[in-house]
Structure 1
Amino acid sequence: MKTLLRVRHARSSLDDPSLPDRQRPLDDRGRHDASKMGKRLTDRGVQPDLLVSSPALRALTTAQLIADELGYKRKDIVVDERLYASSPDNLLAVICALDDRLDRVMLFGHNPEFTDLAHRLSSTIIEMPTCPHAHMPTCAVAEFRFDAKAWVDVAEIGPAKVRMDAPKN
């Protein structure tokens, strides 16, 4: 069984319009929500084998705050350029290339590509109460469990189980 947890970055600050997009930090609510979601994941017993983040500051900070709650070392977070300004096809390529020895992987990134990939993997996401507008809210976690031994199989089969959570739940 392979479990993919996709986390949209927490709410970012727009206070400084001179900052490049990649350098936008989280605002106070975003920092709070990331810690809150990390605690929820810990309470559920989620123990990822790998965390992979977009290089954008808001995504990486979200990953770090959630990692702190999970007891995952910040230094072990992998930063992957392909998770920034990507496409569903590129995200799927990242997933399919994961080491098959890993069973639980968390990806941290952005919309619209994270929502687009969620819809591609499962139409169930559209019907979930945490996704009323058919998009992933900030700091939402979409969890997909696949009856697969290899990550490459994820591209061909639908998930056996889908779960969505967001800070406002």
Structure 2
Amino acid sequence: MKTIYIIRHAKSSWADHFLSDFERTLNARGRQDAPMMAERFKQRGIKPDGFVSSPAMRAKTTAEIFASTLGYPSGDITYVNELYHATLSTLWTVISWFNDAQNSVALFGHNPGLTDLANSMTETIRIDNLPTCGIFAVQIECTSWAEVEHAHREFLFFDYPKRTD
């Protein structure tokens, strides 16, 4: 059994026009939402075996905040260049590369790919958008990450900063 936590980076800033898209940092709301969502994640009793992230600054910072909150060594986060603005096809490929010794992985990246991935994970749950710092969790009946795309997958939860229930 494997579990994936699909996590979109926290809200980022467009204020510094000299930064490339790749270098954009979190804005005030993102710096507030990421620790809050990491704490909500922790309160669920979740501690992923692995963290995989886009190397873009906003995704990297979000992953580091989650890692710090959950006691995961930030030096052990795996950064995968292909996750920067990845298509659905690329996301499936990257997931197949995950370490099979890790049964649960937090995946940090970008839209629209992550919303597409979340919607392709189950036949019954559809979301319009994975909001910034949103988390979409799925359990997969498989022993290898290479099997995930074709394995039975079950929705666990969907959480995001503005969720009130």
Measure the CA separation in 2 of the matches of 1:74 and 1:15.
27
Report the Cα offset of residue 52 of structure 1. Answer: 0.8
Residue aligning to 2:13: 13
- Partner amino acid, structure 1, of 2:95: I
* Aligned-residue RMSD, C-alpha: 1.2
Report the Cα offset of residue 19 of structure 1. Answer: 1.0
Measure the CA separation in 2 of the matches of 1:125 and 1:73.
33
Report the Cα offset of residue 142 of structure 1. Answer: 0.7
Residue aligning to 1:83: 83
Structure 1 residue runs of 5 or longer lacking an equivalent are none
> In the alignment, is residue 156 of structure 1 matched against residue 150 of structure 2?
yes
Report the Cα offset of residue 146 of structure 1. Answer: 0.8
Measure the CA separation in 2 of the matches of 1:157 and 1:31.
36
Measure the CA separation in 1 of the matches of 2:154 and 2:85.
28
Between 1:74-83 and 1:151-160, the stretch displaced more is 151-160
Report the Cα offset of residue 59 of structure 1. Answer: 0.3
Instruction: Give the TM-score of the pair, scaled to structure 1.
Output: 0.92
Contact kept? 1:122, 1:159, Cα under 8 Å: yes
- Partner amino acid, structure 2, of 1:89: S
> In the alignment, is residue 168 of structure 1 matched against residue 162 of structure 2?
yes
Measure the CA separation in 1 of the matches of 2:43 and 2:156.
18
- Partner amino acid, structure 1, of 2:7: V
SS in structure 2 of the partner of residue 161 of structure 1? strand
> In the alignment, is residue 63 of structure 1 matched against residue 68 of structure 2?
no
Contact kept? 1:82, 1:90, Cα under 8 Å: yes
Q: How many residues align?
A: 163
Residue aligning to 1:44: 44
Structure 2 residue runs of 5 or longer lacking an equivalent are none
Residue aligning to 2:102: 102
- Partner amino acid, structure 2, of 1:139: C
Measure the CA separation in 1 of the matches of 2:125 and 2:52.
22
Contact kept? 2:52, 2:106, Cα under 8 Å: yes
SS in structure 2 of the partner of residue 160 of structure 1? strand
1:75-99 superposed Cα distances (whole Å, 9 cap, x missing partner)? 1111110110211111111111212
SS in structure 2 of the partner of residue 92 of structure 1? helix
Distance 1:161 1:119, change over 3 A: closer
Contact kept? 1:121, 1:158, Cα under 8 Å: no
